Structures are given as structure tokens and as C-alpha cells.
């Protein structure tokens, strides 16, 4: 059954592959015998015993992205799939209406930081990899990491949600531009998940302020807010990523797949 996806020897780049969802995707693809490249700003260069290639890469810098793609091709000879997973968030309000903590009011620095990684990074990585797909002449697949907040907005996460809606838009436009070259572009939009390193203590404090509550009260009653009554598991996201990366999803392109346990309000 493991072989149903036929990912053996597919070369797959996962950005932000060192922790969280990205790391779960790296492990899943590796377990399915793909050749995996983890491209992460916090990676230590080299191939580990399990044959995963780790490449330090800042997705927001063109030279860094181009060098990462060259390293992947030099090592494995080709690229079949890019998973644009690297992303960042900073809970901040547009305006600190209560006036109690201006440090949680959105700044130009935060705007640039989040857009540079979540939007420019997706653009740079996809452009570099699609050029390689075209040189190979055999199509390819791009899987973008969006978020449920992209569709519904999210209080205290307006910049982040806007970046993820930009990712949805890229997904639709690039699918139209590249379909004739057998290149698919899809996105997945997770809702609330088991916690990753994104939920640092500082993040939770900021989120609590932006939601006018305390850190202890941040976790809502999921039985009320999520039809399936629980957060998603990282493995559920990596299962979807593996399916979308595989030729089993060969007629899916230009769409954002919601993976939220039925939750639809950010």
C-alpha cells in the first residue's frame, strides 16, 4: 500500500523542512522513498545518514534560493516537486485600539518580514524551480502552504492572512500559466494544528493580547469551533502533502485544498 503514491526516487524540495509541519513532510516523503531536500534558514549543510539533503537557504534571498536549487540538482540530478512550506507569523493588531501595549501594533518591519518570507520566498523558490522543470522538459509539481486564515481573515493575524491569500492567488495564476507545460500548482490550507515551534511563548503572549484574553485562555473549546472537535495532526498535513506531490493527484491544479477538520471561520 505504501507504494500507492509512487514517490520512490522523486526529488522533492521542502522549504522550512527542519521543524514543524515541514519536518513532518520531510519524514513522510522520506518514508515513501523520495529523495528529499530540506531547505531551511536553520539547516546545517550536508547529507544525513538517512540520505536527506539539508541545505541552508533563506527563501527571501534570490542568491540563496538559486544556490539551493543548484545544490539540489548537483546532488540528485533533477527536481520533481517543490513544497513551499517555509512561513512565519507575528500576531499584531493593525491598530492597538486598547492602547495598552503598542509593541503589538503592526509595524513596517513586521510587514516586510512576513511578506518577504511568505510571499517573496514562494515567488523566488517557484520561479527558480520552474526554470529547472522547463529545462528538464518533463513537467513538475508545486505545492504551496497556505492557511485557513487566508480565506476568512484572522483577528491579530491580518498581515499573515494577507500573505496566505497572496499564496492562493499565485497558486491559481501559475496553474493557468504553467498547465500547458504539465506543471501543476496546488496549495493546502490547514486550520488549527497540534503545536509547532511557531507557537513560542512570545507568540502566545502576542496572540493573547491581540485577542484580548490571557495565554491560559487561548485554547478555545474545540468541540464548538471545529466540527471534528480537535486540532489537526502534523501527520495529517504531511499525508496530504505526499498525495498532492504524487502523480495520484495528476488532475488537481490551481486550487487550495482546505484541511481544517471542517472549521471555516478564522
Ligand X SMILES: NC(=O)c1ccc[n+]([C@@H]2O[C@H](COP(=O)([O-])OP(=O)(O)OC[C@H]3O[C@@H](n4cnc5c(N)ncnc54)[C@H](O)[C@@H]3O)[C@@H](O)[C@H]2O)c1
Residues binding ligand X (CB under 6 A) = 15-16, 18-22, 40-42, 57-60, 85-88, 117, 121, 145, 147, 190, 193, 196-198
**Smallest distance from the beta carbon of 36 to ligand X, in angstroms?**
14
The kind and range of the H/E element at 25 are helix 20-31
**Smallest distance from the beta carbon of 214 to ligand X, in angstroms?**
20
Of 104, 160, 209, 243, the catalytic one is 160
Q: Closer to ligand X by CB, 130 or 189: give it.
A: 189
Q: How many CB atoms lie within 10 A of CB 208?
A: 18
DSSP 232: B
Cell numbers representing residue 175 in the block? 496553474
The distance from CA 213 to its chain's CA centroid, rounded to whole angstroms, is 28
Distance between CA 253 and CA 148 in Å, rounded? Answer: 18
Q: Closer to ligand X by CB, 135 or 198: give it.
A: 198
The kind and range of the H/E element at 245 are helix 234-245
233 a catalytic residue: no
**Smallest distance from the beta carbon of 256 to ligand X, in angstroms?**
12
CB–CB of 142/82 below 8 Å?
yes
Q: Closer to ligand X by CB, 5 or 188: give it.
A: 188
**Smallest distance from the beta carbon of 149 to ligand X, in angstroms?**
7
Q: Closer to ligand X by CB, 136 or 255: give it.
A: 255
Distance between CA 120 and CA 22 in Å, rounded? Answer: 18
Q: Closer to ligand X by CB, 67 or 134: give it.
A: 67
Give the residue among 260, 199, 197 at the shortest CA–CA distance from 233. 260
The arrangement of strands across the sheet holding 46-47 comes to 46-47, 53-56, 35-40, 11-15, 81-84, 140-145, 183-190, 256-259
Which are the catalytic amino acids? 160
Amino acid at each position: 500500500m505504501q507504494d500507492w503514491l509512487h514517490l520512490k526516487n522523486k526529488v522533492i524540495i521542502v522549504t522550512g523542512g527542519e521543524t514543524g509541519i515541514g519536518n513532518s513532510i520531510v519524514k513522510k516523503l522520506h518514508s515513501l522513498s523520495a529523495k528529499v531536500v530540506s531547505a531551511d534558514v536553520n539547516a546545517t549543510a550536508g547529507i544525513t545518514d538517512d540520505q536527506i539533503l539539508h541545505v541552508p537557504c533563506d527563501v527571501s534571498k534570490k542568491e540563496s534560493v538559486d544556490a539551493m536549487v543548484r545544490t539540489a540538482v548537483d546532488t540528485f540530478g533533477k527536481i520533481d516537486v517543490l513544497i513551499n512550506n517555509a512561513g512565519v507569523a507575528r500576531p499584531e493588531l493593525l491598530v492597538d485600539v486598547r492602547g495598552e501595549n503598542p509593541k503589538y501594533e503592526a509595524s513596517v518591519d513586521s510587514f516586510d518580514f512576513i511578506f518577504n518570507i511568505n510571499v517573496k520566498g514562494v515567488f523566488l523558490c517557484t520561479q527558480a524551480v520552474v526554470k529547472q522543470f522547463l529545462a528538464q522538459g518533463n513537467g513538475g509539481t508545486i505545492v504551496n502552504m497556505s492557511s485557513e486564515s487566508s480565506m476568512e481573515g484572522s483577528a491579530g493575524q491580518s498581515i499573515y492572512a494577507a500573505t496566505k491569500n497572496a499564496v492562493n492567488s499565485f497558486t491559481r495564476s501559475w496553474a493557468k500559466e504553467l498547465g500547458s507545460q504539465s506543471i501543476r500548482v496546488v496549495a493546502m490550507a490547514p486550520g488549527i494544528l497540534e503545536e509547532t515551534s511557531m507557537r513560542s511563548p512570545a507568540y502566545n503572549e502576542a496572540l493573547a493580547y491581540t485577542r484580548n484574553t490571557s495565554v491560559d485562555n487561548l485554547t478555545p473549546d474545540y468541540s464548538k469551533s471545529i466540527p471534528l472537535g480537535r486540532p489537526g495532526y502534523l501527520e495529517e498535513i504531511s499525508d496530504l502533502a505526499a498525495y498532492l506531490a504524487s502523480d495520484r493527484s495528476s488532475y488537481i491544479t490551481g486550487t487550495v485544498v482546505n484541511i481544517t477538520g471542517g472549521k471555516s471561520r478564522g
